[in-house]
């Protein structure tokens, strides 16, 4: 007896994506020039970081944690990193997770409760959306970076009688647009309504703020501020740190299921992050100056092409159609520039884009050469 095709519905879904130019494929990084990674400071291959990791392996630092943090998976390297991060970023405590997605998911499934409200920017990361979806709090989207809409949403639910805790969820720099949140204004709103402000600093950590401490640097340490610092982007390592009041971190140790029931991140990974933070402290000024110079150069060159620019290392070029976007990305890749297209549902319909990132893995001449290849593609598109 033949089994019916139990895989057909999955195949049909993939074919549907193919017809809309939305089917994803894994592409090797290869040797093309890096205009797509988040390795902004080039730390993933920094000589000092690699040497420190090699020595740590020789000294016997473990590759695997061997268990959850509560079951023998808590090592000296985890404790040292969390103390270092809290001191550096200005929070009372820190908690280390395997990646940013898990950190956000753990936070939003644990802290906001039934009867609470989360007002979130409508462009926040998928990890926040998934955490809110799995959580029990009421959620409402505020228009992207529109401060008044955040306040209006809070006022509306208070007028409707909601008595629970208010949470505000944003990113400091948005990963697909490269724009910056109105942080000071949102800090004031959070204070006015006794709300928690949760800020994903993924694309600011190491790159922006005093000493590369992120754009929340002036505000961290307040009892209503919780920040997530990704370690796999500008820090060139892996994992993520939730920096918050000590009582929040202790609460998550006791009530966050992703923290309690997950094998801990590798002690070697925690050590690597610690060394990356040391480099950012000791050499970060020079590295950030070089990167900011690249941002200025790219902004000038893109402006000459009539492309709207962002103030950060993330420079999106909106194309619109998914098929056209992916064809342009392929052309640039074939020319030796690793630039990826981003399509719905990651970005809204009609806003498929080339997401160009600037890193210290390329030179200013590489940026000029990339723009020289991009120019005729945009000119042909615009007629």
User: What CATH number is attached to the domain comprising 137?
Assistant: 3.40.640.10
User: What CATH number is attached to the domain comprising 299?
Assistant: 3.90.1150.10
Residues 212, 108: one domain?
yes
Contact 207, 313 (CB under 8 A): yes
For the cut 90, the answer to whether the pLDDT of residue 21 exceeds it is no
Residues 273, 221: one domain?
yes
Instruction: Please identify which residue in the block is written with the tokens 């309504």.
Output: 193
Residues 265, 332: one domain?
no
**Does some domain include residue 4?**
no
Residues 42, 52: one domain?
no
DSSP-based three-state secondary structure for 85: helix
The token duo for 22 is 């939305």
Q: How confident is the model at residue 318 (pLDDT cuts 50, 70, 90)?
A: very high
- Could you tell me if residue 188 is left (phi over 0), alpha (psi between -120 and 50 degrees) or otherwise beta? alpha
Residues 113, 180: one domain?
yes
The token duo for 244 is 């918050």
Domain range enclosing 147? 48-279
Whether this prediction's pTM lies above 0.75 is answered by: yes
Residues 81, 141: one domain?
yes
Rounded CA separation 203/102 (Å): 16
Q: Tell me the residue ranges of DSSP E strands in 89-159.
A: 93-97, 117-121, 138-142
Q: How far apart are the two ends of the chain, measured CA to CA in Å?
A: 60
Residues 161, 301: one domain?
no
Q: Rounded to 5 degrees, what are φ and ψ at 34?
A: -80, 100
From the CA atom positions of the chain, what is the Rg in Å?
22
pLDDT in tens, 258-317: 999 999 999 999 999 999 999 999 999 999 999 999 999 999 999 999 999 999 999 999
Rounded CA separation 46/175 (Å): 24
Residues 153, 258: one domain?
yes
Residues 108, 211: one domain?
yes
pLDDT in tens, 173-232: 999 999 999 999 999 999 999 999 999 999 999 999 999 999 999 999 999 999 999 999
The secondary structure element, H or E, covering residue 314 is strand 314-320
Domain count, the chain: 2
Which of 27-41, 71-85, 214-228 has the least mean pLDDT?
27-41
- Domain termination residue (choose one: 279, 297, 312): 279
Rounded CA separation 5/172 (Å): 47
């Amino acid at each position: 007896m033949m089994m019916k095709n139990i895989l057909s519905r999955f195949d049909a879904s993939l074919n549907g994506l193919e017809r809309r130019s939305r089917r994803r494929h894994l592409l090797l990084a290869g040797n093309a020039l890096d205009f797509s990674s988040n390795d902004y400071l080039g730390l993933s291959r920094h000589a000092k970081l690699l040497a420190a990791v090699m020595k740590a392996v020789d000294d016997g630092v473990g590759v695997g944690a061997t268990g959850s943090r509560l079951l023998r998976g808590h090592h000296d390297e985890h404790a040292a990193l969390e103390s270092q991060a809290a001191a550096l970023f200005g929070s009372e405590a820190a908690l280390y997770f395997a990646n940013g997605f898990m950190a956000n998911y753990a936070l939003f499934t644990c802290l906001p409760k039934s009867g609470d409200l989360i007002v979130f920017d409508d462009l926040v990361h998928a990890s926040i959306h998934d955490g809110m979806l799995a959580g029990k709090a009421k959620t409402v989207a505020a228009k992207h970076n529109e401060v008044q809409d955040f306040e209006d949403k809070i006022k509306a639910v208070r007028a409707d009688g909601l008595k629970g805790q208010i949470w505000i969820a944003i990113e400091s720099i948005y990963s697909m647009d490269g724009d910056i949140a109105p942080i000071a204004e949102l800090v004031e709103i959070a204070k006015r309504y006794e709300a928690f402000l949760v800020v994903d600093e993924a694309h600011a950590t190491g790159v922006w703020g005093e000493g590369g401490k992120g754009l929340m640097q002036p505000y961290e340490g307040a009892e209503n501020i919780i920040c997530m610092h990704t370690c796999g982007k500008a820090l060139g390592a892996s994992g993520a740190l939730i920096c918050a009041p000590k009582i929040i971190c202790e609460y998550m140790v006791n009530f966050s299921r992703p923290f309690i029931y997950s094998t801990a991140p590798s002690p070697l990974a925690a050590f690597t992050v610690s060394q990356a933070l040391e480099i950012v402290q000791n050499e970060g000024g020079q590295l950030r100056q070089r990167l900011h110079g690249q941002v200025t150069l790219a902004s000038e060159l893109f402006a000459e092409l009539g492309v709207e620019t962002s103030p950060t290392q993330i420079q999106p070029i909106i194309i619109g159609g998914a098929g056209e976007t992916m064809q342009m990305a392929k052309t640039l890749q074939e020319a030796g520039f690793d630039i990826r297209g981003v399509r719905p549902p990651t970005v809204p319909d009609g806003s498929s884009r080339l997401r160009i990132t600037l890193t210290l893995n390329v030179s200013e001449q590489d940026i000029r050469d990339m723009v020289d290849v991009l120019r005729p593609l945009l000119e042909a598109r615009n007629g």
